[in-house]
Amino acid sequence: CGFIARFEPGKAYTVTLRKGLESIDGLELAEDLSRHLVFPDLSPAIALSGEGFYLPSHADPTIPIRTRNATELTVQLQRLYANNVVSFVREGADWYGTRSTTTALPERKIGVKARWNEWVETPVDLPSVLGAPPRGTYCIRASIKERPYRNVSAVLQATDLGITEDYLLRRPGEA
């Protein structure tokens, strides 16, 4: 026999096991046993809703960024050159960050309307970050004030053209 409890992060509880509670071995608790338990807040975190974003020009120019236990979000965009998009996708934002990029656009700090210990979604208005409606391919990077060293990144494609990605498992020499 066991029990299930739904403890919430950031709260304290007193748990009491009553005298006579029987163990799995048939032994009984000789006296009441109480313990004070504290469940800490969840760690601050940041997440994107995917590995990339496709934004048609007629769509709302915002992207959602999810945070937990954060008060401020920092967003930065870098234009990706067409000849480097494949390398960026293959190698990742950390590899690309110091190579062959235009000057990174200024960072934008955005306040987060946080509900403590819950994920919240903050819409990021891209024209306010870019200074104009987005067109082209960008690396979007985001972090939170509470964990500035933990960046998330994704590809943002703002265009009217469709994009198809196809992964093929090929043996060496096969076309």
- Tell me, yes or no, if the pTM score tops 0.75: no
Share of the chain above pLDDT 70, in %: 83
Per-residue pLDDT of 121-171, as tens digits, reads 999 998 888 888 888 888 888 999 999 888 898 888 888 765 555 555 555
Which residue stretches of the chain are H helix? 85-91, 93-96, 126-130
> For residue 78, which of 162, 167, 163, 156 has the smallest C-alpha distance?
156
